[in-house]
């Protein structure tokens, strides 16, 4: 099974202002590839809010000569061509992806996706925080938080730990065990990853 973890950082509050994307590819229960690309935001939202800079440390000059989403879309969609895409707080990352596709007038990729935040809330329900950095600190994984590649890799490691502890063979089995609905995205539809209220 191929699983791709994704994380976006944005230049400002606009979901379409992606300035970095990070990916971690999992195959056979191991992370086999990590990649990051800086992005020049779309002209309609190409400004950097100081609050965002303070979070991720990316400045306008860092992306001035970088490619826009339209130039890296083929590369990105190829890596998202997996059995499952995951992200921590996937609602944010999926909204960024959809906003980028809307801005550049292209179809959404065909994916199924899983939110590791939702999964951690069910699997480790007694922990005081399910933020990515807090979870990783709890389990001894140190990383550069808000670096898109590091965040994607961290989400992947958390997923692998949840699968091991729950004795589930794959994320779909895990989702079924905990009553989590896997999200979907396609060229003409979108459904969120959510926790079933019946559980």
Q: Describe the strand order of the beta sheet including 183-186 as a list of residue ranges.
A: 30-38, 18-27, 2-10, 84-87, 111-115, 183-186, 189-191
Q: What is the pLDDT of residue 178?
A: 95
Q: What is the pLDDT of residue 198?
A: 58
**Coil/strand/helix, residue 55:** helix
Closest CA to 192 of 44, 60, 93: 93
Q: What is the pLDDT of residue 195?
A: 87
- Indicate left, alpha or beta for 189 from its phi (over 0: left) and psi (-120 to 50: alpha): beta
Handedness of CA 73, 74, 76, 77 (dihedral sign): positive
- Count other Cβ atoms within 10 Å, centred on residue 48: 20
Mean pLDDT by 10 residues, the chain (199 residues): 98 98 96 98 97 97 98 97 98 97 96 97 95 92 92 97 96 96 92 80
Domains of the chain: 2-195 (3.30.420.10)
Do residues 172 and 158 lie in contact, with contact meaning Cβ atoms separated by under 8 Å?
Answer: no
Q: What is the pLDDT of residue 190?
A: 93
- List, for residues 117-160, the tens digit of each pLDDT value: 999 999 999 999 999 999 999 988 888 899 999 999 999 999 99
């Amino acid at each position: 099974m191929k699983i791709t973890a994704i994380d976006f950082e944005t230049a400002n509050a606009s979901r379409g202002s992606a300035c970095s994307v990070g990916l971690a590819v999992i195959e056979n229960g191991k992370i086999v590839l990590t990649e990051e690309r800086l992005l020049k935001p779309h002209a309609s939202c190409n400004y950097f809010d100081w609050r965002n800079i303070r979070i991720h440390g990316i400045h306008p000059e860092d992306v001035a000569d970088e490619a826009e989403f339209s130039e890296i879309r083929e590369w990105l969609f190829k890596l998202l061509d997996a059995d499952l895409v995951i992200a921590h707080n996937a609602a944010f990352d999926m909204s960024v992806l959809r906003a980028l596709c809307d801005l550049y007038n292209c179809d959404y990729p065909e994916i199924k996706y899983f939110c590791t935040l939702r999964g951690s809330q069910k699997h480790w329900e007694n922990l005081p925080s399910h933020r990515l950095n807090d979870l990783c600190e709890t389990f001894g994984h140190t990383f550069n938080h808000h670096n898109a590649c590091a965040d994607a890799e961290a989400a992947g490691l958390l997923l692998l730990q949840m699968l091991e502890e729950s004795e589930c063979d794959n994320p779909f089995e895990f989702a079924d065990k905990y009553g989590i609905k896997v999200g979907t995205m396609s060229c003409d539809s979108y459904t969120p990853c959510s926790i079933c209220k019946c559980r």
